[in-house]
Homo-oligomer: A and B are copies of this chain.
Amino acid sequence: MSYDEPCMEMTLYLHDILYDYSNSTSNSTASLIVAAAIFLLILSCTATVAHGRRFVRSYDEPCKEMRLYFHDILYDYSNSTANSTSAAVTKPTALSTAVSKSGYFFGRMVVFNDPMTEGKALPPSLEETAVRGQGLYLYDKKEDYNAWFAFSIVFNSTAHRGTLNLMGADPLAEKTRDISVVGGTGDFFMSRGVATLRTDTFEGFTYFRLQMDIKLYECYVL
């Protein structure tokens, strides 16, 4: 957290801009003209306004961070419809089928409304989970699993109300993948940042869990 630390330093140069009132009004010979004073200012980044919101930009330390687990339970025509939280919305593409019947799902698009939790355990009541990931992902590689996400995290709890909006590439072959937090609303008004994804578990085609480490570097704080 960078709230109590300076988040910006600036060097300001002033050139002969202080008018010398004393020369003509006194016998003092002191020259007040500052030829080239160098001001090293440490901005505390507290920018208060009438209604109280302030902007925090941090460079290396996030102004807000959290870890959430993303549970995707894909309906496969046989598992529980009550538990399923996502569904493929497209048929296998001709290209995907031509390349390989089992395939890596090139072109498959999945719509999800997935529970997100602070711990790894699946919540007892999926429908009432207070944090949800809502949006779509798609697969876009012929010879491997490679995904792309665009979705919102919707918070609806006493701790947080609001949304974060994210998008980015998810190349599953990499151990960690970074996507962008491109905006936010409510408690996350106008936020931006980066979310790091890790595959925490992958159980066949009907369940995977991602660890999402969300770090915001631009915050508008009330």
Contacts and interface: CB of A to CB of B under 8 A. Distances in A.
Interface of A: 6-14, 17-19, 21-22, 25-35, 37-44, 46-55, 57, 59-60, 75, 77, 81, 84, 87-91, 93-96, 98-99, 106-109, 111-113, 127, 134-136, 138-143, 146, 148, 150-152, 154, 162-163, 165, 167-169, 171, 178-186, 189-190, 192-194, 217-218, 220
Q: What copy number does this chain have within its complex?
A: 3
Contact of A107 (B35, B42, B87, B165): B87
A77 B94 contact: yes
A220 B94 contact: no
Nearest to A180: B183
Nearest to A36: B19
Contact of A46 (B11, B77, B148, B192): B11
Contact of A182 (B75, B111, B183, B189): B183
B17 A21 contact: no
A98 B81 contact: yes
